[in-house]
Every structure is written in structure tokens, then in C-alpha cells.
Amino acid sequence: MRHFKRYFITGLLIWIPLVITVWVLSLLIGTLEAIVPAFLTSRYLFGYQIPGFQLLVVLLVVFFTGLAGANILGRSLFERWEDLLGRIPLVRSIYNSVKQVSDTILAPNGQAFREAVLVQYPRQGAWTIAFLTGAPSGEVADKLQGDYVSVYVPTTPNPTSGFFLMMPRSDVQVLDMTVDAALKYIISMGVVAPAPRVLDASGNVVETEDTGATENNPAGPSNGQA
């Protein structure tokens, strides 16, 4: 019975990440394919279903939209389109909010989520990992006295929800780990310990392989372990 339990748990550890990965990718692909209008589907164009055709259509539309927006004429058309959306009351508030967030996170020169930090939250003495998102500006910065930074504190195990905080820079400790490693640490609820970063002679970060180390097993899994 002991061997059955050990082998069963080993099988779960192999299948659970694979199944969840396939499920997330299927959900993402299904969502993208659902926005393709019926007249652009392979069944409408060719009379039969081609797997992945709608996803290819979405990728091509996104690519050519970016290509058009990179030139002066396309940029002018998009500015007129945004101005039109800005005149619709409800659409204006939703579109502007989403656009500001996407511009901050997805922009090539954006600084959002570039550093993992350690902060005390939700009380003094309780520490959690957060991400540096910038610094307060405008009226908020005028009201705050001193040097403040903006941080995002994600929840566990779902980091897409969380809390936005503004705190003194002196209360924030920058961590020597990548954002990806910090996300793994948060999602695993502290089970998967981040591997230390290695610097080369020039001071650049050398990519290291994930050893699978955990808090209870810092050395990672060993082959043939009973």
C-alpha cells in the first residue's frame, strides 16, 4: 500500500502540471478563436474545419494591425479611432483604463513588473513578495511627503489579483531574483524556492536551469529516490 501511494503521488506530480498547462492553452486559444467572425472561419471559406485556422487569423490580424500602426498614416487613423471612442461615455472610461494598463505593461520601454521586492504587508512583521510598478505622480505625489514608490502585491495562488500600494522607498527591499522566479515562488505558495542568479565576468545575469528545489528539499529531486 505504501508503494502504491508513492507511485500514485508521483504520477499526479507528472500529470497535474501537464493537464493544467494544456487546459490553460486550450482556454486561451478557444477565447482567441471565438472572436473571429463566422465569415472568416475555415468552414465558411473552404467548406471544412481546419484546426488552428481561426488562431492563425487572429495572429495575422494582430501583426498587420501593428504593422499599420507603425507608419504615419496608420497612426493617424488609430488616433482618430481612439478620439471617437473617447466621446462615448461608458466606453471611454473602460477603454482608457485598459489602454493605460496595457501600454504600461506591454510597452517595450515600460518599467512595470521589472523588479521583485520584499515589503511588509498586511502588517508590520509580516513579509510578502511584491513587484515594483513605478512611483506616484500628479496630485497623489503632491500629497505624499517623502520618497514613495508604487508596488503591486499579488495574491496566492492567483497572481492576477492583488493590491496596489504606495509606500516609502525605505520600506521596500529589492530582491536579487527575476520576476519569473518571484512569480513561481508566489504561485507555489513558497514551495518552489527561486534559484540564485549567477553573474558572469561582465556583471550580466547568466540563465540557470530550474533545479526543482523546494523549501523542504533545497537540493532538488534526486534520481532514484525511494
* pLDDT tens for each residue of 12-31: 888 988 998 889 888 888 88
> Could you state, in order of their start, the residue ranges of all structural domains in the chain?
2-106, 115-206
Burial profile 35-45: b = 16 or more Cβ within 10 angstroms, e = fewer: ebeeeebbeee
pLDDT at residue 148, as a whole number: 94
What pLDDT digit, counting tens, does each position of 75-109 carry? 888 888 888 888 888 888 888 877 776 766 666 55
Contact 54, 36 (CB under 8 A): yes
Sheet of 162-168, strands arranged across: 162-168, 148-154, 127-134, 115-120, 173-174
- Cell triple for 72: 504615419
pLDDT at residue 108, as a whole number: 58
pLDDT at residue 196, as a whole number: 64
CA distance 35 to 157: 29
Contact 54, 31 (CB under 8 A): no
pLDDT at residue 210, as a whole number: 53
CA angle 45, 47, 28 (to 5 degrees): 70
Could you give the 3-state DSSP secondary structure of residue 131?
A: strand
CA distance 115 to 117: 6
Distance, CA of 223 to chain centre: 32
Q: Which residues of the chain have pLDDT under 70?
A: 101, 103-112, 196-226
Contact 144, 171 (CB under 8 A): no
Beta bridge partners of 120: 127
The model scores a pTM over 0.85: no
